[in-house]
Structure 1
Amino acid sequence: MNVLTPPLQRGMKELERSAFKTVVGTLVIKVPTKKVGVFMKAFDKDLFNQPRTRNVLPDPESKETKLIILRTDLEKIDDLPQEKVDMIKEEGVSTFKHNLEFDYNFWTAEQILHAVMPEDAQDIPSSFTQIGHIAHMNLREYYYPWKKLIGQVILDIDSIDTTFRFFKMEVLAGEDNMIAEVKESGCKFKFDFSKVYWNSRLHTEHDRLVQLFKKNEYVCDVFAGVGPFALPAAKKGAIVYANDLNPSSHEWMKENIKANKITNGIYPYNMDGRAFIRQAVKDLQATSKDEWKTFDHFVMNLPATAIEFLDTFRGLYHDQKHLFNTRAKLPMIHCHCFTKSTDAMQDITERVANIMGGKPDPLKTTLHWVRNVAPKKDMYCVSFPLSSELAFAAPHSEKRKIEQVSPSTIEQSKSARTE
C-alpha cells in the first residue's frame, strides 16, 4: 500500500493551507448495501486502506447502494485478478473512477512538516509537551526559519489552545498567555511557565519518589521548583522543607501551597542550594533541643548539576556529632543526574564519590532510570544513604561565598533543568 502524502511544498516559510489540497482518483465498486460484507471480504487485499479513511462510502445517488473504494494503483478493473473480475460481472455491479479530495485538515502535523522541510531534514519536530494550556517545544537552531510555521501547523492540526516556544521562550503561535494550570499527584499547580521550570514528562518520577515518603517523615527538597515533589509529600503527611533559588518559583510554590489548602507541614525557602541544605539541617535540629533530629530524605532534582552540590554533605553534621548515637538515623539522598555511559551505575557512583570524597555503599545504592533525554543520554536517580564517615567528616572548605544572587545566576539554575 502506498500511503497518501500531501503535495510537496519545499521552501514554504509562511503557512498556506490551500497548497496542501490534493485530489486522488481511484476505482470504486457500486454494490447493494446488503452485499457490502461479501465484497469487502472478497476484495480485502485490494481495498483503499489508507490511514484515517474509510473503505466504504455512502452512494450520493442512492441509499440502497454503497461505494467500495479500491487501491490507488488500479487503472482499470481488468488489472484485478481474474476471479475478482468474474465476480463483478456475475453480480452485475458497476465500477467507475471516483475522485477523493483531501485538504490541509486531513494530514497529520508530521506529514505537513515533512512536505515543507528540506528532503534531508532529520528529526523533524512535531511533538511537544503540554503544560496546562501551553505546549512546549524544543527547536534546534536548524529549524528556526520554520518556527512560526511549525507552531501554527501543530496549533491547527492538534486542535489545542497552545503556546509554542523554543529555548528563548518565544511565542510561535497561539495566545500570549504563559500562566499554566496543571493537576498532578492529587495537587493543583499554577505558575508562569515563562519564569519557572516544569516538565510534565516527569510526573511518573514525581509520583515514584512521593510514594517512598511516609507520614511524619522529614523531607528536604533542595531544588523544589513550584512544588511537584513537595506539595504531594506534604499532603501525604510528610514534613517538607522546600527550596528554590528562583524567586518566581518560590512565589508560585507559596501560592500553590495556599491553593491546595496545605496549612502545615511545609516550609518554603528561597536560597542557593548549598546554603539551603545547611540551613534546613540547622532549622530542623533547632526544633529539638537535646535529641538528634534530621531529615529522612533529601531530594535533588536538578539533573544537569545536582551531583555538584553533594559536596555539601561532607561534614554536614560535624557540629552535631555529639547528639548522634548508634540507633540514630542518617538521611537517604535521591540525586537526579544525566549520563551517556553504557555503565550508568559505575559512571554515576564514581562521580558521586569524586564530589563527596567517598563512594556510597554499593549494597545500599540503587539506580533508577527516569527517561531518555537525547540520543545516548539518559536521566537517572541515584539513591543512597549518607554514611556516618561522610556526615561527620571535616567539612570541605566553601567553594563559593554567597553574598548575593544575581538574575543571571537564577537563569543558569533554570536552564540547568531544561533537558
Structure 2
Amino acid sequence: MSIFFPPAHHGMKVLNRAAFKKSYDVIGVRVPAKRVGIVVKAFGNNLLNQPRLRNVAEDSGSKETKLVLLKADLRREDLENLPQEAKKVMETDVLGVVDHHIDLDYDYWTSEQIMHAVMPKDAKEIPSSFTQTGHIAHMNLREEYYPWKTIVGEIILDKNKNITCVVNKTNSIDTTYRYFKMELLAGDGNMMTMVKESGCRFKFDFSKVYWNSRLHTEHERLVRMFKPSENVSCVGDVFAGVGPFALPAAKGGAIVYANDLNPSSYEWLNENVQLNKIDSKKIHTYNMDGREFIKKAVQDLQETSTEWKTFDHFVMNLPATAIEFLDTFRGLYNDKKELFEASKDAKLPIIHCHCFTKSADPRQDIFDRVAHMIGAPVDSELTQLHLVRNVAPKKDMYCVSFPLTPDVAFAPLSKRKSDESHPEDTATQKIKL
C-alpha cells in the first residue's frame, strides 16, 4: 500500500504536470553488492515496499555497494526495535546507515492519484473508469465532472500508453440508428479502430456504430449455443451491428442472416466479413428495419428448400427496444403451416431477446412484457432469463430466451402490439448499452 501521494491541487482545470513534483527522505543501509539478497530477506516488511519504486538503489559512493531502502516512516532510532534477524544482519553485513532522497513527479503517480489530487475535496468518487475499444478510451462522465472533463481526458491519455484517443458519451443520441454521439476529450480524434474478440477482428468507425467491449462474455455465451451436435445451425441476427454475434457464429459453422438498419454498421459488417475471410455462403447481410428483416430472412431461408426450413435461433440485441419487435413473430409462419405439418422433424426458432428492467421483480416484469408483445403467455418452464450486466443503479440488462410456439407462429395476422400503448415501453431508453 502506498503512503506516497501527490501534492493536492483541488479544483485544477488546466493540467499542469510540473505541479505534481514531490520529494521524500528515507533511510537506507549500505551493504556489499554481493550481500543484497540476504539483507533484503532479513528486513522483509521494513523495506521501502512502495509501488513502482525499487527497494535497492545505487550507491553513489561506490560500485561495490548498494543501498537497501527502508520504509518511509522508519527513523534511525527505530533500528534498535527491528526483528532479531534484521538486527543480526545489521551487525554482520551493514556497512552504515545513510539518508536517501527520492524525487517523484507527474510520471510516477497513477491516474487515480492525480485525479484525487485535482478533484474537489468533497467529490464522492473519481471519474477514472473507462471502456477501451482498440486505441480509444470511452468514458461516461457524470455532469458534475464536466468542468474537469478535459483534464480527466488528458490524464487517461498520459497514463495509458496504448490509448491515443479519449472520448465521452454525450447526452445526444442518434434517434434513427441508436448509437451515442461522442465528444473528444483528449488525443488525436481518430475514431477508426480495430478490436479482436472471439477469434475475429472487427474494424469500424467508433463514432458511427455501436460497440460495447463489456458484452464480449455475452457474445461468447450465445455463440456457444449456436453449435448443434448435428446438422448446421441457422441464426438470424436482427440487430447485428458490426457483427459481434454474427461473425463468430458463421466462423464456427453456422449459417447466419445478419441485419442492421444503420448504413455504417451494415458497411462495416460487410467489411468485417471480408476481413475475417468468411465464406459468403455462410453469412447473408441486410440493411433493413428489424421487423422487415425478420419477415424477409424467414422467406429467403425457406426459398433455399422445398421442405420446411427455418432458423434455429433469432438474436435481438437492442435491449432498449427489442421486446417491442417481438410482435413480428405472431403469425410470422401462418402461410407456411402446411410445410411445417408435413415435416416430421419440423422445429421453430428459439428467440434470444435482450432488454432492460428496473423492476424489483425482473422475471415477472420481463415475462409480462414479452407476453404482451407475442400475444400469448410465457411458458416459464421453457423460458430462460440470464442476467447480462448491471447498467446503472437499479437498472439491469437481461437476455430472455424462449422457443417460438406453434400457437404464436401460426396465429392469424392482427394489429401489431407495438402499435398499442403499453406502460412498460416508456421505461426503456431508446438506445443500446
Aligned position for 2:33: 33
Cα displacement (A) at 1:87 = 4.9
Cα displacement (A) at 1:225 = 0.3
Aligned position for 1:407: none
Partners of 1:187 and 1:152 in 2: CA distance: 31
Partners of 1:6 and 1:30 in 2: CA distance: 28
Does 2:157 correspond to 1:140?
no
Does 2:278 correspond to 1:276?
no
Q: SS at 1:225's partner residue?
A: coil
Aligned position for 1:196: 209
Question: What's the TM-score once normalised by structure 2's chain length?
Answer: 0.86
Distance change (3 Å), C-alpha of 1:226 and 1:64: same
Cα displacement (A) at 1:297 = 0.5
When structure 1 is superposed on structure 2, of 161-170 and 191-200 the one drifting more is 161-170
Asked if the contact 1:27–1:70 (Cα under 8 Å) also holds between the matched residues in 2, the reply is yes
Whichever residue aligns with residue 336 of structure 1, its letter is H
Aligned position for 1:69: 69
Whichever residue aligns with residue 259 of structure 2, its letter is N
Asked if the contact 2:2–2:51 (Cα under 8 Å) also holds between the matched residues in 1, the reply is no
Question: What's the TM-score once normalised by structure 1's chain length?
Answer: 0.89
Whichever residue aligns with residue 7 of structure 1, its letter is P
Whichever residue aligns with residue 295 of structure 1, its letter is F
Does 2:368 correspond to 1:353?
no
Partners of 1:60 and 1:380 in 2: CA distance: 62
Asked if the contact 2:327–2:416 (Cα under 8 Å) also holds between the matched residues in 1, the reply is no
Aligned position for 2:15: 15
Cα displacement (A) at 1:332 = 0.4
Partners of 1:414 and 1:164 in 2: CA distance: 25
Asked if the contact 1:196–1:414 (Cα under 8 Å) also holds between the matched residues in 2, the reply is no
Asked if the contact 2:165–2:189 (Cα under 8 Å) also holds between the matched residues in 1, the reply is yes
Q: How many residues align?
A: 406
When structure 1 is superposed on structure 2, of 125-134 and 292-301 the one drifting more is 125-134
Partners of 2:429 and 2:71 in 1: CA distance: 53
Q: SS at 1:171's partner residue?
A: strand
Cα displacement (A) at 1:23 = 0.3
Partners of 1:414 and 1:130 in 2: CA distance: 23
Distance change (3 Å), C-alpha of 1:341 and 1:35: farther
Cα displacement (A) at 1:195 = 0.3
| Aligned residue among 381, 385, 390 for 1:372 | 390
Matches within 5 A, 1:3-402: 3-78=3-78, 80-81=80-81, 87=88, 90-91=91-92, 93-168=95-170, 169-214=182-227, 216-262=232-278, 263-289=280-306, 291-325=307-341, 327-341=345-359, 343-398=361-416
Q: SS at 1:241's partner residue?
A: strand
Summarize deviations over 1:78-104 as a string: whole Å, max 9, x none: 465176796587446321322101111
When structure 1 is superposed on structure 2, of 321-330 and 176-185 the one drifting more is 321-330
Structure 1 stretches of 4+ moved >4 Å: 82-89
Summarize deviations over 1:248-286 as a string: whole Å, max 9, x none: 111111222222233223221112112221222222223
- Over aligned residue pairs, what C-alpha RMSD do you find? 2.5
Partners of 1:133 and 1:124 in 2: CA distance: 22
Asked if the contact 1:6–1:115 (Cα under 8 Å) also holds between the matched residues in 2, the reply is yes
Partners of 2:249 and 2:11 in 1: CA distance: 51
Cα displacement (A) at 1:193 = 0.7
Identity of aligned residues (%): 61
Asked if the contact 1:360–1:385 (Cα under 8 Å) also holds between the matched residues in 2, the reply is no
Whichever residue aligns with residue 249 of structure 1, its letter is S
5+ residue gaps in structure 2? 171-181, 420-427
